[in-house]
Amino acid sequence: MRTKTVAGLLMLTGLSMATLSISGAAQAADIGRIKTVTGAVTVVRGSASTPAAVGQVLQVSDVIKTGADGRAGVTFADNSRFAVGPNSSVALSQFEFDDTTHVGKSLTTVDRGTLGVVSGQIAHENKDAMKVRTPTSLLAARGTRFVVDVTP
Amino acid sequence: MLALTACSTPGQVALLRDEDGKVGAVAVSDPKTGAERGQLTAPNTQAGLRPGPLKPKPLTTNYDALLTVMPPAPRVFTLYFANGTTLTAESEKTLEELRRIVTPASEVQITGHTDTIGDGLSNDRLSLERATQVRSALVAQGLPVANAKVTGRGERELKVQTPDNVSEAANRRVEVIIR
């Protein structure tokens, strides 16, 4: 019944396959979730900044910011995982993932702080597809667990 | 001035042993030119992120506190059915374990399968019923329905390949991935 309503809406808006692929992309826009939060953690989306909550859905371009006592754990659609340390700013600059083919790419920007990474299916499928950017470097994960540390 | 100082912090990268004992690699390149400065390939090594060739050295920074917030790896479970939507006694225990593991923050992918007894269409229906039944058990435990994705694959993805109309216990199953 719900499917029918959605199909009806698609017809009403006069969009067919194009919309379907967009709605697929919109679903993929749900790229990850906050799993653990300790201390001060906020998620910045556009101009809005909200306190991070366990279970919160993340989208491309979201920025995770932590205070001096803040830490956060995040999981992504490709099964990659992040541990964000205190005094950090971590932007989810790019994330594309096809859960059927496992092809995708991601770019995470660490402006400051620490980021622990366990790579997932994106890096497994294509060894240079998961990247982390720091102010001075571009890192490519080749199937691994690592830490990026941009603390003074 | 302060911002300038913060921006010029080169920082470092550390390569750790994977949770399953394997070791990958991290390649470091110059963001402007794309030129590769080097790679970390040995476990428990670190290197500064300054311009110039990467100089790996043994890990001296302790990241244990950071890694305490790393979410656990996704876990995969398989539940088997005696017939219809009745779980085997063994899988009833697995379902009990699942009930203990899920939290309101869990994301769960539940995929139902059948053996090749009966026609494709009714197996599609049965596989979805199996998956939905497992979801109901977890939702009763506090898992939000929105966090549980249910799919029925019918007889398309046999665990054990059989001809049509063969009863095969290994194929009557629901796979559950908890993230």
ipTM of the complex: 0.80
Among A79, A128, A118, A73, CA closest to A99: A79
Indicate the pLDDT class of residue A14, thresholds 50, 70 and 90: very low
Using a CB-CB cut-off of 8 Å, the residues of chain B touching A140 are: 26-27, 29
Using a CB-CB cut-off of 8 Å, the residues of chain B touching A123 are: 24
The C-alpha atoms of residue A138 and residue A131 are separated, in whole angstroms, by 7
**Cβ of B105 and A149 within 8 Å?**
no
Indicate the pLDDT class of residue A144, thresholds 50, 70 and 90: confident
The pLDDT value given to residue B108 = 93
For A76, which residue in chain B has the nearest alpha carbon? B179
Of A84, A128, A142, the CB nearest to B24: A142
Indicate the pLDDT class of residue A98, thresholds 50, 70 and 90: confident
Residue A8 has pLDDT above 80, yes or no: no
The pLDDT value given to residue B18 = 82
Q: Do the strands A71-76 and A63-66 form a parallel or antiparallel pair, or are they unpaired?
A: unpaired
Instruction: Give the tens place of pLDDT for each residue, B76-95.
Output: 999 999 999 999 999 999 99
Among A118, A98, A99, CA closest to A108: A118
| Nearest-CA distance B117 → chain A (Å) | 27
The pLDDT value given to residue B8 = 60
As a dihedral over the C-alpha atoms of residue B12, residue B25, residue A137, residue A81, rounded to 10 degrees, the angle is: -80
Q: What is the mean pLDDT of chain A?
A: 84
Using a CB-CB cut-off of 8 Å, the residues of chain A touching B74 are: 75, 79
**Cβ of B24 and A79 within 8 Å?**
no
As a dihedral over the C-alpha atoms of residue A31, residue B72, residue B104, residue B130, rounded to 10 degrees, the angle is: 90
CATH 3.30.1330.60 residue ranges of chain B are: 75-178
The pLDDT value given to residue A15 = 38
CATH assignment of B75-178, among 3.40.50.12280, 1.20.1090.10, 3.30.1330.60, 3.40.50.1370: 3.30.1330.60
The pLDDT value given to residue B20 = 80
What would the two tokens of residue A69 be?
A: 């006592």
Question: Chain A residues within 8 A (CB-CB) of chain B?
Answer: 33, 35-36, 38, 54-55, 71-75, 79, 81-85, 112, 114, 116, 118-119, 123, 128, 133-152
Residue B105 has pLDDT above 90, yes or no: no
The C-alpha atoms of residue B61 and residue A50 are separated, in whole angstroms, by 32
The pLDDT value given to residue B2 = 43
Q: What is the mean pLDDT of chain B?
A: 92
Distances (CA, A) of A64 to A124, B109, B148: 25, 26, 25
The C-alpha atoms of residue B109 and residue B65 are separated, in whole angstroms, by 30
Residue A25 has pLDDT above 80, yes or no: no
The C-alpha atoms of residue A142 and residue B19 are separated, in whole angstroms, by 15
Percent of chain A topping pLDDT 70: 82
